[in-house]
Amino acid sequence: MTGSSVSSTPETIVGPLRDEAALERLFRAHFSALSAEAKSHLGAEAASSAPKVLEQAFRQAWEERASIGSEADLSSFLHDAVRRASAREMSRRAGARHLSHGAKGGSQHAATAEADVDTAWHHLSRQLHPEAVRADAQAYSEQLRHHAAEHVGDLSKARSWKVPVAIGIFAAALAGGAMWYLTFLGADRAVTRALDSSEARTLIAQPGQTARLTLADSTHVMFGAGSKLTIPKDYNTVLRAVKIEGAARFSVAPGNPLPFEIHAGKAAVIATGTTITARSYPNDPYTIVQVDSGTATVRVEKQDHPLTAGQALLIDKEGKTRTPNAEELALGTAWTNRRIAISGQLREVVAEMNRWIGTEIKVPELKALDTPAKVDAPMDSMRVAIGQVEQSTGLEFAYEGPNQVMVFRTKKAPGAEPAKPKK
In a domain, 418, yes or no: no
Task: Check whether residue 242 and residue 122 sit in a common domain.
Answer: no
pLDDT band at 307 (very low <50, low <70, confident <90, very high): very high
Q: Is the pTM of this model over 0.85?
A: no
Rg of the chain over CA atoms, in angstroms? 25
Give pLDDT, residue 105: 44
Asked whether 375 and 355 are in contact (CB, 8 A), the reply is no
Alpha helical stretches, state H, 186-289: 187-196
Task: Check whether residue 5 and residue 130 sit in a common domain.
Answer: yes
Phi, psi (rounded to 5 degrees) for 346:
-60, -35
Q: Quote the CA–CA distance of 353 and 167 in Å, as a whole number.
A: 56
CATH number at residue 363: 3.55.50.30
Phi, psi (rounded to 5 degrees) for 205:
-100, 125
Give the CA count within 13 Å in the CB-facing half-sphere of 364: 11
Asked whether 51 and 119 are in contact (CB, 8 A), the reply is yes
Q: Using the predicted structure, report yes or no on whether residue 153 has a pLDDT greater than 70.
A: no
Domain end (from 304, 331, 358): 331
Residue 159: count of CB within 10 angstroms of its CB: 10
Residue-range definition of the domain harbouring residue 151: 1-97+113-158
pLDDT tens, residue by residue, 59-115: 888 888 877 888 888 888 898 888 888 888 887 777 666 555 544 444 444 445 677
CATH number at residue 251: 2.60.120.1440
Give pLDDT, residue 176: 47
Give pLDDT, residue 132: 52
pLDDT tens, residue by residue, 353-409: 999 998 899 999 999 999 999 999 999 889 999 999 999 999 999 999 988 999 999
Give pLDDT, residue 9: 40
Q: Quote the CA–CA distance of 368 and 347 in Å, as a whole number.
A: 8
In a domain, 175, yes or no: no
Residue 299: which of 271, 274, 269 has the closest Cα? 269
Task: Check whether residue 9 and residue 146 sit in a common domain.
Answer: yes
